A and B are shown apart, each in its own frame.
Chain A
Amino acid sequence: MKISLLVLGHPTSSNCAKTALAFAKSAITQEHTVHRVFFYHDAVHTASNFVVMPQDESNIGANWQQFGQENNIDMVVCIGSALKRGILNHTEAQRYNRSGSNFLDGFELSGLGQLVDAAIQSDRLITFGA
């Protein structure tokens, strides 16, 4: 089955980023296709490369990054939500004259159209709520 994921919750304040990743890994193990993962609302923070976690806790953004690269997953972060929350890639940081960018490689900033496209292309769209 072709599955897409919509992730809404903050990666640190909620556990939905972890649950979504566990689900995605399980889907791949069971030979489904993960078509796209769309990060919206507070989940855009998953793509921040400024996160510093204590040594005994995992960095969920880095874990998603690794999973995405190993399995060639399209990981999209909603640009509207991200800009409002201060998650900027290099292009947007230049465009809005901000002092730096903080976007993890392997994620991509794009619009809600990508989520709609995921809904059109996928058999299942699963929401991991806030």
Chain B
Amino acid sequence: MMKTIVFIFKSTPIGSSLSREGIDMALAAASFDQSVKVIFLGDGVFQLLKSQTSNEMIEKNIAKMISSFELFGICDIVVDKQSLQDRSLKHSDLIESLPLQISTDIKEVVNTADHIINF
């Protein structure tokens, strides 16, 4: 059976492992053939910054993990426009290799969900 699972990512990429664990779960759901949609909201938009690099402090590069979303079949990647503006970020600051939908109304995506999981 296939369900639509919407993940809402609100955590910063570093400072807590929640961001990494949320992405692990989204990838797991996608590899079990569920319809996975992802929304980046609030501080979660920082996870999409293309300037992230790995070093001994930050072993896992969140941006690299997110870049593999399409490979796993996650194609609905929504970014809340207000969250970007509040943080003085532009679309051009974000990962380039992915189809990002900058949205002014994430409710549209949320309403398609069978389940919503917040990280």
Contacts and interface: CB of A to CB of B under 8 A. Distances in A.
A42 to B, nearest CB: 9
In this complex, the interface size class of chain A, counting residues with CB under 8 Å from chain B, is 20 to 34
A40 B25 contact: yes
A124 B5 CA distance: 11
Interface of B is mostly: mixed
Given A41-B17, A120-B34, A127 B118 contact: yes
B32 A116 contact: yes
Interface in B1-58: 1, 3, 5, 16-18, 21, 24-25, 28-29, 32, 34
Contact of A40 (B5, B21, B29, B32): B21
B18 A130 contact: yes
B25 A112 contact: yes
B16 A116 contact: no
Interface string A2-39: 00001010000000000000000000000000000000
Interface in A74-109: 80-81
B118 A41 contact: no
Interface of A: 6, 8, 40-41, 80-81, 111-113, 115-117, 119-120, 122, 124-125, 127, 129-130
Closest 9 CB pairs of A and B: A112-B28, A125-B115, A116-B32, A116-B29, A119-B115, A127-B118, A41-B21, A120-B1, A127-B117
Interface of B: 1, 3, 5, 16-18, 21, 24-25, 28-29, 32, 34, 114-119
12 contacts: A112-B24, A113-B32, A115-B25, A116-B28, A119-B34, A119-B114, A119-B115, A120-B34, A124-B115, A129-B118, A129-B119, A130-B18
